[in-house]
């Protein structure tokens, strides 16, 4: 199940000391697999995997790296992770990533996503060898545009739910540290859309929910089927984070906000992604709209990634149909006994 996408410079990453927070999560695990392939010296810092099964376990992500457990809410644990890693590059991905959970636990969401970012930035300030850092937030950090237009990096931040506003807060905190403490690592923020791919078993996400429904012989239940989201394979934003870190290494002017979203043709209603996933995954799999859509969420999210395309030469790894096909292929192969520890380079 090898994957080939255009992306980062192997010569830059070979032997580079990289600290990745959140490496036991879906996106973090894929990033570590990629960095391992590139020859980086990776330290991961995270809680235990948030799901069972998990990509972290299935792909043996902890092998060949310094694999640390700790909580972002504990500044001492964050400091110790930096001391162990001696990082040259930091990619901060650890977070409470679920909108619906943020309604159930707003305090924990803000503690992790806001104060956890503060703890990370404080440790980064004291890291003598750190030269580049990417703080990953979310496309949901923006104040929703009433016209439904794609959000650009200079659009107003906002967020109408605890998760979204916590990510806007993380953006503001990072910008404040960047302006207030201009020495040290060049630090940028990255805002990406809805990532899909093999190994995502998180709840309340349409593609993993479809995987579970198909295996259980049940109907897929879809919340907010008319909500429009920017869909992309997980390797697309990850390639952007790596390209951005490379740029930051030599160009401090790149320290700012960056969008990494799909082509406009892949900004689609949830119902269309549900249709395509059901068709690919299990014959006869159908979906139905949830009777209760749950807490209110933004109706339309679109990202304008012109800046990343023009200044970094970044492009999405795959179009949506390719991304869904690769995701279903991954889950089908792993279900049938294939090794989930894939090669990316």
Residue 74 lies in a domain: yes
Residue 39 lies in a domain: yes
Which CATH number do you get for residue 210?
3.40.50.720
Give the pLDDT of residue 296: 84
Residue 263 lies in a domain: yes
Place of tokens 């697309």: 236
The residues, any chain, with a CB within 8 Å of residue 230's CB and separated by 6 or more, are 139, 193, 194, 261, 262, 266, 267, 301, 302, 303
Residue 299 lies in a domain: yes
Q: What is the residue-averaged pLDDT of the chain?
A: 96
Cα–Cα distance between 266 and 229 in angstroms, integer? 8
Cα–Cα distance between 37 and 242 in angstroms, integer? 13
Q: Is 2 a residue whose pLDDT tops 70?
A: no
Residue 345 lies in a domain: no
Q: Is 5 a residue whose pLDDT tops 70?
A: no
Beta-bridge partner residues of 41: 17
| Number of domain units in the chain | 1
Cα–Cα distance between 134 and 20 in angstroms, integer? 10
The residues, any chain, with a CB within 8 Å of residue 262's CB and separated by 6 or more, are 193, 230, 231, 232, 236, 303, 316, 319, 320
Residue 137 lies in a domain: yes
Residue 140 lies in a domain: yes
Give the pLDDT of residue 6: 58
Give the pLDDT of residue 107: 99
| Per-residue pLDDT tens digits for 51-75 | 999 999 999 999 999 999 999 999 9
Cα–Cα distance between 182 and 252 in angstroms, integer? 10
Q: Among residues of the chain, what percentage have pLDDT more than 90?
A: 91
| Per-residue pLDDT tens digits for 136-147 | 999 999 999 999
- The domain in which residue 164 lies consists of 11-335
| Residue ranges in the chain assigned as alpha helix (H) | 10-13, 26-38, 55-58, 75-85, 99-104, 106-110, 116-125, 162-180, 206-216, 235-250, 270-281, 306-312, 320-335
Q: Among candidates 312, 325, 163, which has minimal Cα distance to 231?
A: 325
Other beta carbons less than 10 A from residue 293's beta carbon: 14
Residue 1 lies in a domain: no
| Per-residue pLDDT tens digits for 22-31 | 999 999 999 9
Give the pLDDT of residue 345: 60
| Per-residue pLDDT tens digits for 201-255 | 999 999 999 999 999 999 999 999 999 999 999 999 999 999 999 999 999 999 9
């Amino acid at each position: 199940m090898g994957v080939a996408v255009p992306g980062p410079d192997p010569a830059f990453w070979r032997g580079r000391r990289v600290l990745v927070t959140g490496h036991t999560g879906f996106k973090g695990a894929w990033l570590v697999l990629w960095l391992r392939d590139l020859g980086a010296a990776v330290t991961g810092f995270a809680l235990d995997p948030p799901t069972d099964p998990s990509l972290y376990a299935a792909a043996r992500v902890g092998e060949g790296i310094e694999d640390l457990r700790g909580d972002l809410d504990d500044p001492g644990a964050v400091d110790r992770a930096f001391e162990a890693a001696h990082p040259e590059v930091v990619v901060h991905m650890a977070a409470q990533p679920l909108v619906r959970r943020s309604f159930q636990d707003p305090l924990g969401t803000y503690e992790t996503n806001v104060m956890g970012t503060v703890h990370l930035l404080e440790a980064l300030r004291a890291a003598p060898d750190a030269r580049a850092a990417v703080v990953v937030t979310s496309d949901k950090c923006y104040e929703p545009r009433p016209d439904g237009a794609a959000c650009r990096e200079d659009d107003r931040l906002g967020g109408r739910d605890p998760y979204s506003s916590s990510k806007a807060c993380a953006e503001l905190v990072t910008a404040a540290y960047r302006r207030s403490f201009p020495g040290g690592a060049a630090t940028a923020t990255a805002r990406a859309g809805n990532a899909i791919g093999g190994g995502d078993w998180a709840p309340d996400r349409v593609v993993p929910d479809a995987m579970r429904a198909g295996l259980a012989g049940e109907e897929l239940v879809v919340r907010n089927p008319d909500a429009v989201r920017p869909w992309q394979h997980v390797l697309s934003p990850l390639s952007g984070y790596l390209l951005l870190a490379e740029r930051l290494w030599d160009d401090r002017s790149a320290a700012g906000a960056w969008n990494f979203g799909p082509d406009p043709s892949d900004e689609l209603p949830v119902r269309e992604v549900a249709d395509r996933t059901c068709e690919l995954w299990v014959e006869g799999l159908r979906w139905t709209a949830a009777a209760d859509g749950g807490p209110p969420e933004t109706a339309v999210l679109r990202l304008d990634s012109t800046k990343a395309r023009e200044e970094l030469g970044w492009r999405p790894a795959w179009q949506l149909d390719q991304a869904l096909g690769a995701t279903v292929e991954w889950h089908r192969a792993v279900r049938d006994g294939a090794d989930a520890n894939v090669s990316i380079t």
